[in-house]
Structure 1
Amino acid sequence: MKIKERSLVIIKPDGLQRGLVGEIISRFEKKGLKIIGLKMMRLDEALLLEHYSHHKDKPFFKDLARFMSSSPVIVLCLEGLNVVSAVRLICGVTKSSEAEPGSIRGDLAISTAYNVVHASDSVETAEKEIKRFFKQDELYEYDKAEYLYVYAEDERK
């Protein structure tokens, strides 16, 4: 199968500590997205600085770094057709109070800072983020039988 677009998702400390990991992962699986990488990890200062470099000079960065390092996180690499936009739709907008009901943030978060998940915002960003969080041998290629029932034949080519 040639469905190769990928996206990175981080289930943040609030998602882990509130016991939402299974529900969050289930939403991606129910959509038909394929998990090709999954791990629990702690984010150290160097990784946080690299990942959030666009926020490092903002007043909230220290609080963000403290929050993101307060607990392990779950990191996922998902694969599927138009997966970046699909994941962002499933997650909902960053500001949880404005997220649509039915989205992860709309249903499970109220805070903008503690908004349960991070999701890549573009295909280009996803490629960088996946390399940042996963070694190549931590990503698994496999055929997912379900794809025969998720994607039309012309979409699988």
Structure 2
Amino acid sequence: MNGNITFSMIKPTATQNNHTGHIINMITNAGFHVIAIKMLHLSKDQAKAFYGVHEGKEFFERLIDFMSSGPIVAMVLKKENAVEDYRKLMGATDPAKAAEGTIRKLYATSMTMNAVHGSDSDENASLESRFFFSDFEVFKQL
């Protein structure tokens, strides 16, 4: 799996503003295959468990409140060089600094409400994917 999968999450503001379809379209047009997808509403405890690496940082509680404020779309994406290519497609965390044509430049409203999450390493792609999906839910044949 290493090297050819990444995890993506469309965040609450983007889903609530009806950008889900546009974002998925950008992802597939960039050559990614969606091999697992689901929409759900994270509880505060689930958001804390997912973002636990950031616990203690000044933005942690704000992030947890935001991530549990509405529906998210979790996805496992497949493509050669998936993590790096998806990070380029997302754009910088700060939408004001994101390159033109990136997801965050188009759909983010702030650093916290930055439209999407994406894994930062192959290891985290695997961990984050397994947080949301069982092996049974990930289509491996694509």
Tell me, what secondary structure is at the counterpart of 1:94?
coil
| Corresponding letter in the other structure for 2:98 | A
Tell me, what secondary structure is at the counterpart of 1:73?
strand
Residue 119 of structure 1 pairs with residue 118 of structure 2: yes
Tell me, what secondary structure is at the counterpart of 1:100?
coil
Q: How many Å separate the matches in 2 of 1:126 and 1:102?
A: 24
- CA separation of 1:63 and 1:4: change in aligned 2, threshold 3 A: closer
Number of residues paired by the alignment?
142
Q: Percent identity between the aligned chains?
A: 33
Shift of residue 60, structure 1, vs aligned partner: 1.9
Runs of 4 or more off by more than 4 Å in structure 1? none
Shift of residue 109, structure 1, vs aligned partner: 1.9
- In the alignment, structure 1 segments of 5+ residues that lack a partner are 144-157
Q: Is the 8 A contact 2:83 2:120 kept in 1?
A: yes
Q: Is the 8 A contact 1:3 1:79 kept in 2?
A: no
Tell me, what secondary structure is at the counterpart of 1:75?
strand
Q: How many Å separate the matches in 1 of 2:108 and 2:115?
A: 6
- In the alignment, structure 2 segments of 5+ residues that lack a partner are none
Q: How many Å separate the matches in 2 of 1:130 and 1:27?
A: 20
Aligned to 2:21: 22
**C-alpha RMSD of the superposition:** 1.6
Q: How many Å separate the matches in 1 of 2:129 and 2:118?
A: 11
Structure number with greater Rg is 1
Aligned to 1:87: 86
TM-score scaled by length of structure 1:
0.85
TM-score scaled by length of structure 2:
0.93
